[in-house]
């Protein structure tokens, strides 16, 4: 039951995560590779783009320049990519927690399952 409580607490934390509201147009122009659409890119592509953008940012800072890419500051691109990665990680974590919860439910005794169902029904009333 303690484990079920921990899973429920983690699910609540994930539910509090913000939605993806980008500062850019989400179509990252080519830096070294091809254009990246932040809405459909996978985590590996986003991470690679974030590293490349960080390199550009550090170079621009070292040269005391304000660098933009596609009309948006590099910082905005980086913030959008980090926000999108957070959303992708949240979805993955929710799936993992659901699988753990199902395993725990399978391990419970019949009496405990009935008790949990009654508790859920009581909360709904």
pLDDT digit string, tens, across residues 21-32? 788 888 878 776
3-state SS, residue 69: strand
The residue ranges of DSSP E strands in 1-114, in sequence order, are: 27-28, 36-37, 68-69, 72-73
For residue 12, tell me if it sits in a domain. no
Q: Is residue 89 part of a domain?
A: yes
Residues 39-93: tens digit of each pLDDT: 999 999 999 999 999 999 999 999 998 888 888 999 999 999 999 998 888 888 8
Give residue 70's domain range.
20-115
Considering the domain boundaries, does residue 52 fall inside one? yes
Number of domains present in the structure of the chain? 1
What pTM was estimated for this model as a whole? Answer: 0.62
77 lies in a domain?
Answer: yes
């Amino acid at each position: 039951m303690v484990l079920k409580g921990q899973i429920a607490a983690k699910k609540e934390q994930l539910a509090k995560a913000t939605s993806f509201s980008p500062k850019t147009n989400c179509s990252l122009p080519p830096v070294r590779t091809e254009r990246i659409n932040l809405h459909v890119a996978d985590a590996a592509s986003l991470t690679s783009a974030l590293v490349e953008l960080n390199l550009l940012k550090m170079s621009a800072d070292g040269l005391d320049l304000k660098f933009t890419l596609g009309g948006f500051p590099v910082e905005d691109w980086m913030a959008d990519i980090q926000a999108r990665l957070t959303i992708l990680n949240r979805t993955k974590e929710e799936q993992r927690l659901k699988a753990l919860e199902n395993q725990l439910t399978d391990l419970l005794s019949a009496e405990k399952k009935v008790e949990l169902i009654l508790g859920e029904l009581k909360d709904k009333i």
